[in-house]
């Protein structure tokens, strides 16, 4: 008997389903309305709210491997706890959007909150409830389901959430849910944690990074053979990498965006800007390293950059083709974050121009952030 396995077309369909799609998009991918309905009826598919995270992120945050990675970071946990203690009072009602293990909700209860609604869409809700009971935090009430549908009954004093992806933007759906909860249930004059964030890019000069993660490997012969056709053809497209960068490799840093979590929305995450990265001495350009800051409370800001303590977020490396830059020269960059029109996947586009080049005539390099 022949075996049955997934086809290339099937793999494409499953990849399309990684992030919840409109029925019309699935139909365009080859999944007819009748097939969609049949798969809904047997439970292979289900209907999702717009703020539902991608399935792989959903699965990741459902397990202890990811949760431990966040809990083990003293900068992250300690800073959020400090911000909570500074802003939560005895009579406060608090909402934690995406509570995960429940750690921040328990911190709020320990700080004296009268009631903490811990909203969680994944199976971690069971653990958050169990751990709150184990630790005697009776003020914590775990609420299962999509945060965007939550009914608090009356306005609350503080809304918090840890929706910072590895380079902040990735968890824009989590932030979108936070915004909906904030706009419906935060009382006038209420507080949010975090309050704001800055997004940064640094031009990087690192042959090691370029060789290991970028285009550099194919610049040199492999066992004496020329592999440069791989680069010329465009067949090789490096992805964004999460790593710990070396401060000595960073040439010039710019804040490329700033976000206000008390008043802004997830639409602020979609932006286009230009920046100039100056080289005081001659060097090479091998791409960008990204980091972000979180303003958690008055006087309390943490950074994921190389100038701060190492965090669970590390830094993001965006490889680019190597470019020599003379002393006093600069790399110009056009930077944009956008959602693909069909699948609504968050992407980040980088166009660069070195000395003597024009941004309008250079190719854009696009990286997926989800």
**Is 3 a member of any domain?**
no
The four Cα atoms 232, 15, 209, 362 give a dihedral, to 10 degrees, of 40
Question: Band of the pLDDT at 178, cuts 50, 70, 90?
Answer: very high
Give a yes or no: residue 335 inside a domain.
yes
- The answer to whether residue 2 sits within a structural domain is no
pLDDT at site 29 = 80
Residues 353 and 225 in one domain: yes
By residue range, what is the domain housing residue 117? 64-193
pLDDT digits (tens, 9 = 90+) for 107-121: 999 999 999 999 999
Residue 57 pLDDT level (bands cut at 50, 70, 90): low
pLDDT band at 61 (very low <50, low <70, confident <90, very high): low
CATH number (domain holding residue 362): 2.70.160.11
Instruction: Flag whether pLDDT at 58 surpasses 70.
Output: no
156 has a pLDDT exceeding 70: yes
Residue 231, pLDDT > 90, answer no
Distance between CA atoms of 351 and 358, rounded to whole angstroms?
10
pLDDT value, residue 316: 97
Same domain, 114 and 22: no
- Min mean pLDDT across 60-64, 80-84, 104-108 is at 60-64
Domain count, the chain: 3
Compare 237 and 281 and report the one with higher pLDDT.
Answer: 281
The pLDDT value recorded for residue 46 is 84
Three-state secondary structure readout of the chain = CCCCCCCHHHHHHHHHCCCCCCHHHHHHCCCCHHHHHHHHHCCCCCCCCCCCCCHHHHHHHCCHHHHHHHHCCHHHHHHHHHHHHHHCCCCCEEEEECCCCCHHHHHHHHCCCCEEEEEECCCHHHHHHHHHHHCCCCCEEEEECCHHHCCCCCCEEEEECCCCECCEHHHHHHHHHHHHHHHHHEEEEEEEECCEEEEEEEEECCHHHHHHHCCHHHHCCECCECCCHHHHHCCCCCCCEEECCCHHHEEEEEEEEEEECCCCCHHHHCCEEEEEEECCCCEEEEEEEEEEEEEEECCEEEECCCCCCCCCCCEEEEEEEEEEECCCCEEEEEEEEEECCCCCCEEEEEEEECCCCCHHHCCCEEEECC
Q: Do 157 and 142 reside in the same domain of the chain? A: yes
Q: Which residue has the higher pLDDT, 96 or 238?
A: 96
Is residue 1 a part of any domain in this protein?
no
Residues 43 and 88 in one domain: no
Query: Is 359 inside a domain boundary?
Result: yes
Identify whether residues 213 and 302 lie together within a single domain: yes
* Same domain as 15, residue 68: no
Q: pTM of the entire structure? A: 0.89
Q: Do 252 and 321 lie in a common domain? A: yes
Per-residue pLDDT tens digits for 83-103: 999 999 999 999 999 999 999
Same domain (yes/no): 43, 81: no
pLDDT, residue 351, reads 98
CATH number at residue 81: 3.40.50.150
**pLDDT value for 32:** 87
In a domain, 56, yes or no: no
Worst-scoring range by mean pLDDT, 340-344, 357-361, 362-366? Answer: 340-344
Provide the pLDDT for residue 64.
Answer: 75
Span of 116-125, 224-233, 345-354 with lowest mean pLDDT = 224-233
């Amino acid at each position: 008997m022949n075996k049955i396995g997934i086809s290339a077309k099937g793999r494409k369909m499953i990849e399309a389903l990684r992030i919840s799609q409109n029925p019309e998009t699935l139909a365009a991918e080859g999944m007819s309305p009748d097939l969609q309905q049949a798969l809904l009826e047997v439970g292979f598919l289900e209907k999702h709210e717009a703020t539902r995270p991608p399935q792989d992120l959903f699965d990741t945050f459902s397990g202890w491997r990811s949760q431990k990675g966040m809990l083990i970071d003293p900068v992250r946990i300690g800073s959020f706890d400090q911000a909570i203690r500074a802003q939560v009072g005895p009579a406060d009602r608090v909402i934690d959007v995406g509570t995960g293990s429940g750690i921040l909700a328990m911190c709020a209860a320990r700080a004296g909150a009268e009631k903490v609604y811990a909203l969680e869409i994944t199976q971690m809700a069971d653990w958050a409830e169990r751990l709150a009971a184990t630790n005697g935090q009776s003020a914590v009430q775990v609420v299962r389901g999509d945060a965007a549908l939550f009914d608090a009954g009356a306005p609350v004093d503080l809304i918090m959430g840890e929706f910072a992806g590895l380079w902040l933007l990735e968890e824009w759906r989590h932030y979108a849910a936070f915004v909906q909860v904030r706009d419906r249930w935060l009382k006038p004059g209420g507080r949010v944690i975090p309050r704001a964030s800055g997004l940064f890019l640094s031009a990087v000069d690192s042959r090691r990074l370029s060789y290991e993660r970028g285009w550099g490997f194919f610049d040199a012969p492999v066992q004496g053979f020329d592999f440069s056709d791989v680069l010329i053809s465009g067949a090789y497209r490096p992805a964004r990498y999460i790593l710990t960068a070396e401060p000595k490799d960073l040439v010039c840093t710019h804040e490329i965006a700033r976000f206000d979590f008390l008043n802004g929305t997830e639409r602020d995450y979609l932006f286009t800007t230009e920046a100039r990265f100056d080289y005081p001495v001659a060097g090479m350009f091998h791409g960008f390293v990204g980091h972000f800051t979180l303003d958690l409370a008055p006087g309390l800001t943490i950074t994921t950059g190389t100038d701060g303590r190492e965090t669970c977020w590390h830094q993001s490396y965006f490889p680019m083709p190597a470019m020599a830059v003379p002393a006093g020269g600069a790399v110009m960059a056009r930077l944009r974050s956008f959602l693909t029109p069909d699948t609504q996947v968050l992407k980040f586009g980088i166009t660069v121009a070195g000395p003597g080049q024009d941004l309008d005539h250079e190719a854009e390099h696009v990286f997926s952030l989800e």
